[in-house]
Structure 1
Amino acid sequence: MGEEKYMAENLNENACYGKKFLKKDIKNTAGKCAVILLILSVLTYFLGSLIIRILKIRSSLLGSNSTTGMILGLSNDAYNFWVGYFPCIAADVVAIIACFFIFRKGINNYISFKKEVPSDFIVSGAFASIGVGIISSIIFLIYSIIINSHGIEIPSPDFSIPKETIYLILFFSYTCIIAPVFEEIIFRGYILNNMRKYGDFTAIIVTSIFFSMFHFNLVQLVNPILMGIILAFVAVKSESIVPSIIVHMFNNIMAMITTLISTTNSQNILLIWSSIYYICGVSALLYFLFKYGKELIDTCKEKNEVLKVRNKIFYSFTNKWSLMYLVFYLFIILVTMVAKNS
């Protein structure tokens, strides 16, 4: 009887030690992920501000000029690229380099296929992303109406299509190719895979929340979370980020096509495209969930019972670096909201 009591006490002690170790390890790994995102975010805003400062110094035109359509000596398209998109590209590159040094792993660890994946999975996942976008838009519409009813306007990112050919090419190259590749390397490559040792579902949720915060606006609050879940599931099932890159590219391309069609001012074309878009998107999402929903549910069932999923997610966002990233996120949201409504 005494021996059984000793064994029970020993097991409880080991379990307690296991929880403490796991908690510390989760905070450490998630903290590294937050450091990368802090580097990415702070550098993006710093470079954007620096470029504006340089333009002010070198430009003979201070401020915007409604007559010439120039902003600080640049056309509107040029200004948007150099102040908006170029800092994002540069910061992405630096963040990926930081990932390599922080996690000591090369990109090839996440690009190579470790198991065969049916093409149907990738194709249906790509079209399902349209359905996810539709659901996200409905959710945004609901909470935007609620917020607007209180006299508060939600600031929207500038998704306007450039008119100058060179910047139109650069815009589509960034939106449809560069951004999906870089973002998948960072989020579904480094962050997701380094969090997977705590459970696939934990890693998927944590990565998706980080992905949503990365966009720094309330318009893109829900979509990156839902889209992040689909992209992460695709990456987990295929053991490679190549399929998630394909899905991400497809999603962005479809969004750009929709934006282009909306600028034609043709109600008939827009109606036809919207009908096809909604029918295909919802149907594809239902098909994807019907065929691969069981695998998605199985992914949500984690075998590690040392800590519950909600606790692992909580610890992922309560380390000092994640809290710093959260504070920075809330600061940017607050500043943009105040600027929009002042």
Structure 2
Amino acid sequence: MTTKKSVSLLTPEKQQEKKLLTIDCVKISLLLILYNLLNRIFAVLFFYVAYTYHSGKFTLSYSAVLSYLKKQTAFISSTTFSMTANLFITLMSVLVFGIVFAILFRKRESSFIKPRKGTAVKGLKWFSACFVINILLSQLISILTGILGQNGVTVPTSDFSIHQPSAIAVIVQFSYVVIIAPIVEEFIYRGAILTALSPYGRGAAVLFSALAFGLMHGNIPQAASAFGTGLVYAIIAAKCGSILPTVIIHCLNNLLANFSSISDAIGLEHYETFMSVAEIVIGLVGFMVLFTSLKKLIIDDSENVLTPKECRRYVFTNPATIVYMLCLIIPIVKSLVQANS
């Protein structure tokens, strides 16, 4: 039996599939590394622009730019500054990413980036279920971080509250958090990854997608929560054959998550009552969807050339995958160490 299994792994068809998977895995991993690098490059460019705008001067010295901006505490700590930076960096980076992706995977027959008829309705259906999953994960992570905090471990988190509220700050934050970020993240972490890897096995592609999406958030609480929701998002996209439903889910999820800070900034009254009622209704619908449709999230890769186990092994032992994952893990570990040093 062992001999037959070993021989079957070496069939020409499987060898060819493994070769193609390895190549595409390298391409998508390097492309994701490029995206991270582009973020850094455009961040530097944005700082130069911000320096020139605020000081009225121009310099090629990056150290001088950083030194100046660090002194402008009110300027750089404002939501307008941080969200404008995020918008600029994200849009410029995804533009380059999209061009390179289109070149590398131009011959791919099935693309998850293209919208498909009827998938928008599925997005609305699964939004409530994703909302419930997100709430449950958030509560669990909150409990765990609380326990760590009681034991003297500081866990870095992100702050999305609006500092120095203004109409511009609200508009910029809404534009980035509720619209641009979800679309870009779905394009990269679902659309691109699933397009590249799902032909060899949707299960491995979904897992890669969820890990990349989780780890890119940069801190443990968000990474854990994003991994869980990202897993569900990727499964939904894989099942629907399009990221359109997950774009809708992601936008709505971010809207609800940031509704309080936006409402506070614009002075909206009695929004707590509205939010409480909305969350209860969405939660009840979500539990019903999960109860009746959970089996639909099961992915069947039995018809693929490579078995699910083989596909996962080839993807996650790929040197490019390992390098990319390390690029995401190391900053998280460093921030955790720095917070507790």
The 1:287–1:267 alpha-carbon spacing in structure 2 relative to 1, beyond 3 Å, is: same
Question: Residue 334 of structure 1 corresponds to which residue in structure 2?
Answer: 333
Correspondence 1:243 to 2:245:
yes
Aligned-pair RMSD on alpha carbons? 3.4
Post-superposition CA distance 1:187-235 (Å, at most 9, x none):
2222112221222222222211111122222121122222223322332
Aligned residue in 1 for 2:59: none
2:9 is equivalent to residue 15 of structure 1: yes
Is contact 1:134–1:281 with CA below 8 Å preserved after alignment? no
Distance, in Å, in 1 between the alignment partners of 2:10 and 2:30 is 29
Distance 2:149 2:37 in 1: 29
Distance 1:203 1:112 in 2: 17
Task: Say whether the 8 Å CA contact 2:206–2:235 is kept in structure 1.
Answer: yes
Cα 1:277–1:143 change in 2 (3 A) is farther
| Structure 2 equivalent of residue 156 of structure 1 | 157
Q: How many residues align?
A: 327
Q: TM-score, normalised by structure 2?
A: 0.81
CA contact (8 A) 1:31 1:316 kept: no
* 1:27 maps to amino acid: T
Deviation at 1:110, TM superposition (A): 3.5
Question: Equivalences for 1:73-152 in 2 at 5 Å?
Answer: 76-104=78-106, 109-112=111-114, 114=116, 116-117=118-119, 119=121, 121-152=122-153
Letter in 2 for 1:172: F
Q: 1:114 to 1:262 in 2, by over 3 A?
A: closer
2:167 and 2:214 mapped to 1: Cα distance? 31
Matching residue within 34, 40, 61 for 1:39: 34
- Closer/same/farther in 2, CA of residues 155 and 321 from structure 1, 3 Å limit: same
| Cα pair 1:116 1:238 within 8 Å, conserved | no
Q: Secondary structure at the match of 1:220?
A: helix
Cα 1:243–1:130 change in 2 (3 A) is same
Secondary structure, counterpart of 2:258 in structure 1? helix
CA distance in 2, matches of 1:115, 1:59: 47
In structure 1, the partner of 2:20 is 25
**Larger displacement relative to structure 2 (90-99 or 226-235):** 226-235
Secondary structure of the residue aligned to 2:10 is helix
SS in 1 for 2:161: coil
**AA at the equivalent of 1:64:** K
TM-score if structure 1 supplies the norm length?
0.81
Q: Taking structure 1 as reference, are residues 340 and 51 closer, same or farther at Cα in structure 2, changes over 3 Å only?
A: farther
C-alpha displacement at 1:91, in angstroms? Answer: 1.3
Match of 1:176 in 2: 178
**Aligned partners of 1:33 and 1:191 also within 8 Å:** yes
Instruction: State percent identity of aligned pairs.
Output: 25
Tell me how far 1:236 sits from its aligned partner: 2.6
Alignment of 1:269-308 (within 5 A): 270=272, 272-273=273-274, 275-297=276-298, 299=299, 301-304=300-303, 307-308=306-307
CA shift, 1:312, in A, is 2.5
**Cα deviation code 1:43-99 (max 9, x no counterpart):** 212322443356457755552356xx234xxx7234313444421222122212221
- Alpha-carbon distance in 1 for matches of 2:167, 2:264: 19
> For structure 1, which runs of at least 5 residues remain unmatched after alignment?
none
Which residue of structure 1 lines up, in the alignment, with residue 209 of structure 2?
Answer: 207
1:90 aligned partner, one-letter code: M
Aligned to 2:228: 226
1:245/1:106 CA distance change after superposition, 3 Å: farther
Where in structure 2 are there 5+ consecutive unaligned residues?
Answer: 56-67
Identify the match of residue 46 of structure 2 among 43, 51, 63: 51
Counterpart for residue 70 of structure 1: 75
SS of the aligned residue for 2:198 comes to: helix
Contact 2:202 2:301 in 1 (8 A): yes
Q: How far apart, in 1, do the equivalents of 2:5 and 2:75 lie?
A: 71
Aligned to 2:61: none
Alignment check: 8 A CA contact 1:99 1:186 kept: no
